């Protein structure tokens, strides 16, 4: 079992930055893929970024590529999402999630691949 707690959300002006944290208790992150998803009002949850086992590789949605960076600290069992050059369309509740098993290929982009989810943290970007 894995428990996840996100933090770091808030209100920021367009062009600003935020860093989200996802702290895990239970099993360690190093054996799983950790993803960030977001859900805006009236929209479906969408993939944002993922980091595979022990940071071996990362994946990003096209909409955030070049602006967001996902990283992990195995010693702290924490994964971060550094968000720069924020835009109003980045406004959403951001969730971190962990797969329960090893995930291959494009399955990393699917929310159904993730077994454990945090409660979410609100990010609001004003124009």
Whether the CA torsion 38, 63, 56, 110 is positive or negative: it is positive
CA distance 121 to 124: 10
Report pLDDT digits (tens) over 60-75: 999 999 999 999 988 8
3-state secondary structure of 88: helix
Give pLDDT, residue 58.
94
Nearest-CA neighbor of 93 among 38, 12, 11, 29?
Answer: 38
Confidence class of residue 2 from pLDDT cuts 50, 70 and 90?
confident
Listed residue (89, 106, 107) closest to 40, CA to CA? 89
Contact between residue 88 and residue 40 where contact means Cβ atoms under 8 Å apart? no
pLDDT recorded at residue 74: 85
């Amino acid at each position: 079992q894995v428990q996840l707690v996100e933090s770091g959300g808030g209100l920021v002006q367009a062009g600003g930055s935020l860093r989200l944290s996802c702290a895990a208790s239970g099993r360690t992150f190093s054996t799983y893929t950790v993803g960030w998803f977001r859900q805006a009002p009236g929209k479906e949850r969408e993939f944002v970024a993922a980091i595979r086992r022990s940071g071996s590789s990362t994946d990003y949605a096209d909409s955030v590529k070049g602006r967001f960076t996902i990283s992990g600290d195995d010693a702290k069992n924490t994964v971060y999402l550094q968000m720069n050059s924020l835009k109003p369309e980045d406004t959403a509740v951001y969730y971190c999630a962990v797969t329960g098993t090893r995930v291959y290929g494009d399955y990393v982009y699917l929310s159904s691949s993730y077994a454990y989810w945090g409660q979410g943290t609100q990010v609001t970007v004003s124009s």
